[in-house]
Amino acid sequence: MNNCIFCKIVSHEIPSDIVLEDEKFLIFKDIRPKAQIHLLIIPKKHLGPVNILTAEDKEVVGEMILKARGIAEKIGVSQSGYRLIFNVGKDAGMEVDHLHLHLLAGKSMPF
């Protein structure tokens, strides 16, 4: 999608610190981390935020959560704990309208 910063990250048009990439998803480090570990899990295909998802998107959303669980296991925070967040809309501080799941981990995670 034109002018979507996350689409540009997917196409490697702008650089990012990629942790995992496969056919359907990209996981990269948030540029302004809110916790010791702050990753973003995104589908490569542009989808809008949660409030405009449809039933057709449910498989992708389910896969995103499983991807998040998988990366949590890989980086060793499964036991210590982590937080998964979808921000929706301006009161939640949502900045980017390409669907993304935040994974926060490490000490002093914000609520």
Q: Are 61 and 53 in contact (CB under 8 A)?
A: yes
Cα-Cα end-to-end distance for the chain: 32
d(CA 24, CA 46) in angstroms, rounded, equals: 11
100 is catalytic: yes
Exactly one of 63, 87, 106, 109 binds ligand AMP (CB under 6 A); that residue is 87
Q: Is 5 in the site for ligand AMP (CB under 6 A)?
A: yes
Question: For the window 15-54, what string marks contact with ligand AMP as x by the rule CB under 6 A?
Answer: -x-------------xxx-------x--------------
Q: Which of 38, 98, 100, 102 is catalytic?
A: 100
The 3-state DSSP class for residue 3 equals coil
Q: Is 96 in the site for ligand AMP (CB under 6 A)?
A: yes
* Sheet containing strand 101-105, strands side by side: 18-21, 25-29, 37-43, 101-105, 82-85
Catalytic sites, residue numbers: 100
- Per CB under 6 A, residues contacting ligand AMP are 5, 16, 30-32, 40, 87, 93-96
